[in-house]
Amino acid sequence: MTNISTFQEQFLTPSDELIRDISGLDGDIIILGAGGKIGPSIARLTKKALQLAGKTNKVTGVSRFSEAGLRESLEADGIATISADILDDAQLQALPDAPNVLYLAGTKFGTKDREAYTWAMNAYLPGRVAEKYKNSRIVVYSTGNVYPYVDLSSGGASEDIKPNPVGEYGQSCLGRERIFEHFSLTHGTPVLMYRLNYAIDFRYGVLLEVAKSVLAERPIDLSTGFVNVIWQSDSNETAIRSLLHCSSPPKLLNVTGPETVSVKWLAEEFGKKFGKTPQFIGEPQQTALLSNAAESFRLFGYPKVSLKQMIEITATWLLEGGETINKPTHFQERKGQY
């Protein structure tokens, strides 16, 4: 099995390609939504890559910082922090300007029965941010949920597939994209729509959910029988490097792994590691929410962490009692209700 501490160190080690690209990036970087599942790791990776490149660009993380100790931890790693609720326009306008923006703010979980808040976060707030940072380049975190479900044999939806999201979460995410697109065209703001589907790491994600079900001998629903996954360190690197590929009109970019992964196969792989026989319910449907990331691979190469490595580290992390985040992806959801 992989040594956990070694893998964690690798998780935050910038690649030579990232160091090269960030060397050509001028100006400070602000991360809006630096809390949550992705924000802290991308902030740390950005800072470390700048240091290794010999750059002094400032990295600022903005969040409500509701997680105890996170703000202090980021500051100890050399990241400036600002505690703010950017849905409050006065707090948003008080933020410093920066030539480079990573926009991670948004909401997904708990969307059901909070539709109004979801639309405010995912579609209203982007307009305020786009105006505030109209002179910056902006990588906008979006999602594969803007696409329709596609046939399993399709290879996934590519960027030229017309969006047709299922449910209000996906619709609000398309709203986010359209608002940023409008202001990009209005002001000439360079933007990249970063359609991620699904990132995972030690503590959360599709693989962890499948593994936990196998270990606990809970039935796994196969109605959504195939998924895409990418390790979070790979997706983080792609996001940072995407700052050099923003444009007006905005560039669309799918970000995920190269495989169309069978959920049944995943469960069986974990079953081998745990000495368990997976239990299943439901039958795989002929469609799934799948993305084709060929353009991302053209620009940045293939992810460095393989699917087999993801399975191994997830199994080890779970067996050794590693901390997990209780935010299920709901990858089985087929009606868009999160």
State the fold for domain 4-202+230-258+290-304.
Answer: Rossmann fold (3.40.50)
CA distance 11 to 41: 9
CA distance 83 to 291: 34
Which residue stretches of the chain have pLDDT < 70? 1-8, 11, 109-112, 327, 330, 333-334, 336-338
Residues 74, 237, 330, 144, Cα dihedral to 10°: 130
The Cα-based distances of 26 to 39, 98, 103, 133, 334 in angstroms read 21, 10, 18, 16, 42
Backbone φ/ψ region at 212: left (φ over 0), alpha (ψ -120 to 50), beta: alpha
Residue-by-residue DSSP string for 108-165: -TT-TT-HHHHHIIIIIHHHHHHHHTTTSEEEEEEEGGGSPPEETTS--B-TTSPP--
Q: What is the pLDDT of residue 1?
A: 43
Residue whose tokens read 């009109």: 249
Q: What is the pLDDT of residue 135?
A: 98
CA distance 300 to 240: 11
Q: What is the pLDDT of residue 324?
A: 84
- Angle formed at CA 223 by CA 158 and CA 160, multiple of 5 degrees: 10
Q: What is the pLDDT of residue 117?
A: 93
Which H or E run contains 83? strand 80-83
Instruction: Say which residues have a Cβ less than 8 Å from residue 97's Cβ, sequence separation at least 6.
Output: 133, 135, 136
- Angle formed at CA 45 by CA 248 and CA 244, multiple of 5 degrees: 20
Residue whose tokens read 């990132």: 199
Over residues 31-57, the pLDDT tens digits come to: 999 998 899 999 999 999 999 999 999
Domain range annotation of the chain: 4-202+230-258+290-304
Tokens of 76: 């100890």
Q: What is the pLDDT of residue 187?
A: 98
Over residues 65-92, the pLDDT tens digits come to: 999 999 999 999 999 999 999 999 999 9
